Structures are given as C-alpha cells and as structure tokens.
Chains A and B, each alone.
Chain A
Amino acid sequence: MPAPAFGVQFVYTNPDEPEFVGVVRDGDAVIMPSGFHPNVSVPGHKINFVWMMAAHREVEDRQFGVVSVQPGFDQGGSGLEASRK
C-alpha cells in the first residue's frame, strides 16, 4: 500500500467504543490483543497486510481460523473455513 494510498483500521469489541480507529500507511503495525478488526483502503487502492499471532499456550493454542465473527456479519461464517480442511 505505497503512498499516497492509505487504509483505515478498526479494532473493537464494542463498535461504539472502539479501542482503535485510525489511518494506516505502508510500514505501520497495529496490535490487536483482542476484538474485531475490519479494515478498508481508500478508493482505487488495494489493502494488503501481513498478519501474525502468537498462541497463549505453546502448541495447544496454535490454531488458525478459530475466530469469533461479529454478530450481524456472520451469515457467511468466518470466511476462514478453508484453512480448517
């Protein structure tokens, strides 16, 4: 997402009281200890990002795709079911 493009990142459990809402640019890193975390780019640009996680319990909790989908946006599942196959 090189300049001038930028995105907007949200992190919240309650959307009315978000922990973070802000402009993100190439090279920025946002931490999300918990919560829903949608993002969007400015019109006409991609939003590509690296993500990473560290399990609380070694090996036992190291699972991808175990997520909670925000109520109201969960009609299509998590969208990550393919990773569990």
Chain B
Amino acid sequence: MSTQMKEALDQRIFRGTNRHKGRHISITPENSAMKHLVYGRIILDQEVPRVFFETGQLESGLICLSGKCTIEAEGQTFELDTWDSIYLPRDTDVEVSTDSAVDLVECAAKVETRYPLQVVRYADVERDGSLRFQTGGPATTRTVNITLGKNVEAGRILAGFTTSEPGH
C-alpha cells in the first residue's frame, strides 16, 4: 500500500461535508477505514431543486436534517419533513426534489438482500421510549433519537441523531 493510500485510510475527519449542493458522497469504504459504511449529503434548494440516483448494491437511509422534500421511489411518492427518515432498498431508482430547501443526510451500505422501502415519521420515533430517550446524568444529559433502528427492517445500516443542551 502506498504512503498516500495509507494516509487516506488513516484519515479520521472529513471537513465541510455540507458544502456541496446536490448529492455528494463524502465517505466510502474505498476512501476511508470504514468497512461498509457510506456517508453523504443531499442538499437542495431553488438553484438545485432535484437529484436522481440509483441505490445499486447499497441499501440507503435518508434523514431529513432541515426543510422538506418529496421522494419518488418504487412508483410511490413520499413527503419528508424535518427529522423524518426513509429507508430505500438496494436496486431502487430514487428522485429527491424540493419546492423550498432541504438538507438530507445519507447513510448507506452494501447488502445482499432487498429489504422493503420504509418511511419513518419522527412523530412515531418521539412516541417510542426505546427510540427516543434521555441518557447521562444531571450534568451530562443527552437525548438519543434512533430513526433507522429496530423500527426498520434493514441489513446493515443504523442511524439517528443525538442532541444536548449547552453544558452537557
């Protein structure tokens, strides 16, 4: 392995992964020490309101970090609002579009099996104490939100987000 290749695989931080409009994949098993995980962002606005991609051999999960969008896949149309998620099976054609602006995080991994397309409403996550809960002590409280967890049938990916108040 070349020195340059080793340095790339040793890289632990990828800066500014939200700088690109459209769909941008930042981390893959090919450019990092990740064995399976693929990470990217889909950032759309009035200038770039639509992207199309194929999941190919990867299952893919999208979490809406801000804004809202429409997702077309398997002949169906889904509206995603902030903190909603969607699980997209491998071998799926996907179109993401917005009338306003949206920032989606994409989590993907290669899988053998095609699991069903599933939409996760954040309202349902909020109601489930095993998907959204507080952890830590009085000075270290964090809220864990598991949006693509046991609530979703999938092969490899798990994803969510953690929040804290200042000082925690």
A80–B109 Cα gap in the complex (Å)? Answer: 24
Q: Is the CB of B14 within 8 A of A28?
A: yes
Q: Is the CB of A58 within 8 A of B159?
A: no
Q: Is B27 an interface residue (CB 8 A)?
A: yes
Q: Is the CB of A48 within 8 A of B17?
A: no
- With an 8 Å Cβ cutoff, the count of chain B residues facing the other chain is 53
In chain A, positions 25-40 with a C-beta closer than 8 Å to chain B are 25-33
A interface residues with partner B (beta carbon < 8 Å) = 9, 11, 19-20, 22, 24-33, 41, 43-56, 58-59, 62, 64, 76, 79-80, 82-85
Task: List 25 A–B pairs whose Cβ atoms lie within 8 Å, in order of A's numbering.
Answer: A27-B18, A28-B15, A29-B14, A30-B12, A30-B13, A31-B12, A31-B27, A41-B164, A43-B166, A43-B167, A46-B166, A47-B164, A52-B157, A52-B160, A53-B157, A54-B35, A54-B36, A54-B37, A54-B38, A58-B155, A64-B149, A76-B136, A76-B137, A83-B130, A84-B130
- Given A28-B17, A82-B135, list of 16 further CB < 8 A pairs? A25-B15, A29-B39, A30-B13, A31-B37, A41-B164, A44-B166, A44-B167, A50-B65, A50-B105, A51-B160, A51-B162, A52-B105, A52-B107, A54-B36, A58-B113, A82-B133
